[in-house]
Structure 1
Amino acid sequence: MLRLTRILAKIILWFIGLSLVLVLLFRFVPPPVTATMLMDANGITKDWEPLSNIDRNLVTAVIAAEDGKFCQHTGFDAEAIEQAIERNAAGGRIRGGSTISQQTAKNVFLWQGGGYVRKGFEAWFTFLIEHLWGKRRIMEVYLNVAETGIGTYGAEAGAQRYFNKSAASLTRPEAARMAAALPLPKKRSVSNPTGFTRRYGNTIAARMGVVRRDGLDACVYE
């Protein structure tokens, strides 16, 4: 039992040390590839761009769509998690309560899919990036690794694919349409949105005004 305890302790210490090294490294260096990219049968199209080369409209749009409290929380939105639990308990389509910070931690360091084990790792990495990266770096990495279409990753590759232009010059409607497709980029059309995606994009565009008015994206530009 003592030997097993020592082995487990070494594994835990090794994991903590490795995770700290990776998080500190990716604070300055773009993550070269993610598990999601490697497992994508459609290949990988991506082009890393610093946040200074990504239009603020997209930052505002993803906050409006994904995480209105991004600048207020420290990685976890307790209210959103509680609401997700209540909705899921009522039945129907499973919904998450993940923040942009949690999604970034999952996308960069982990794998897709549920499970309490992955959620536990996700919480650990979310804690680390919130304290070692800060909001601006979290947003920068998120917008560069998020899946924006079939075999397409990041804001720049998505903007080029859908609008034949740089992510540096996205209009409010364009940014809103990209944000509307983020949860299901393989199924929701950005170029010619219809039905729910179109309505959701319009809703996000309207929310963007509130985000900008109330400074809900200010932490990214401080």
Structure 2
Amino acid sequence: MARKTSPQKPGLRPARRGLHRVRSLRAGLAWFALVSVLAVLAASLVHRVLPPSPTFYMKQEAHRLGGIDHAWVPISEVAPVMARAVVAAEDANFCLHWGFDMRAIRAVIERGETRGASTLSQQTVKNVYLWQERTWVRKALEAMMTPVIEAMWSKRRIIEVYLNIAEFDEGIFGIDAAAHHYFGVNPSDLSALQAARLAAVLPNPKERSASKPSNFVRERTAAIMDGAATIRRDGRSACFED
């Protein structure tokens, strides 16, 4: 009597194959998230002490222009008024928040706008580690990384890094290059007016000039000078000053 042979086991049913793919995708995403977090932590630890390498945007501009002007300078060699000016211009509550200015975010939402509440901490994360194009992916990564930087770096370090990587004119990156480019002085010798002029070109340095200021830049410069003096008087500059 011939033995009956059982049919071969079919492959995974469609539903089970779908479940398997979902689990694989979840595992892949979890692994990617873990690696990303570890990479951020490692980079944050290194950059607490060492200057970041030229950013992705710097490299793009160097390739486009054939070179850029950039040199790292410690914040101790930058006129204190420069740090106050950039805080007054970009993030007056820098010493009061943990990376996100919730009051400014609420104000932007109430006005029905989509931008304008980005803190110096967020801008530093974007400039050092991410890219310039405004996408949801970039914003999500920025939101994840900003609290890490705030936790691991001092406020003074955040300002130091920001000032050294900010773009002040086409191909001009960092406060050392900007001070020499616009005024022919070392960053330690910047006056209150010069510091405010440099802060006034942010965040649109390709459309504004500190040496040939438009009426808008002049008005913004005056407001920044007042703001810098105010945050010094009321203590909002204490977290990044000696």
Alignment TM-score, normalising by the size of structure 2 = 0.86
Letter in 2 for 1:27: R
* Structure index of larger Rg: 2
**Residue 45 of structure 2: aligned partner:** 24
**Residue 108 of structure 1: aligned partner:** 128
**Residue 218 of structure 2: aligned partner:** 198
Deviation digits for residues 184-222 of structure 1, max 9, x if unmatched? 111101002121011111111122211111121110125
Q: Distance in 2 between matches of 1:105 and 1:9?
A: 22
Structure 2: give runs of 5+ residues left out of the alignment.
1-19
Seq. identity, %: 44
Q: Distance in 2 between matches of 1:69 and 1:44?
A: 32
Shift of 1:5: 2.4
Shift of 1:85: 2.7
What are the within-5 Å matches in structure 2 for residues 146-165 of structure 1? Answer: 146-165=166-185
Structure 1: give runs of 5+ residues left out of the alignment.
none
**Residue 212 of structure 1: aligned partner:** 232
* Pair 1:6-2:30 in alignment: no
Q: Distance in 2 between matches of 1:84 and 1:36?
A: 27
Deviation digits for residues 73-102 of structure 1, max 9, x if unmatched? 00000111122233344xxxx642101101
Letter in 1 for 2:153: W
Classify the secondary structure of the residue corresponding to 2:206. Answer: coil
Letter in 1 for 2:90: E
Letter in 1 for 2:110: E
**Residue 70 of structure 1: aligned partner:** 94
What are the within-5 Å matches in structure 2 for residues 57-136 of structure 1? Answer: 57-89=81-113, 95-136=115-156
Query: CA 1:185–1:110 in structure 2 vs 1: closer, same or farther (change >3 Å)?
Result: same
**Residue 203 of structure 2: aligned partner:** 183
Shift of 1:144: 0.3
Contact 1:152 1:158 in 2 (8 A): yes
Give the counterpart of 1:51 among 75, 82, 90.
75
Contact 1:60 1:211 in 2 (8 A): yes
Q: Distance in 1 between matches of 2:145 and 2:40?
A: 8
Classify the secondary structure of the residue corresponding to 1:148. Answer: strand
Query: CA 1:197–1:95 in structure 2 vs 1: closer, same or farther (change >3 Å)?
Result: farther
Query: What value does the CA root-mean-square deviation take over the aligned residues?
Result: 1.3
Contact 2:80 2:241 in 1 (8 A): no
Count of matched residue pairs? 218
Alignment TM-score, normalising by the size of structure 1 = 0.94
Contact 1:37 1:44 in 2 (8 A): yes
Letter in 1 for 2:89: A
* Pair 1:35-2:56 in alignment: yes
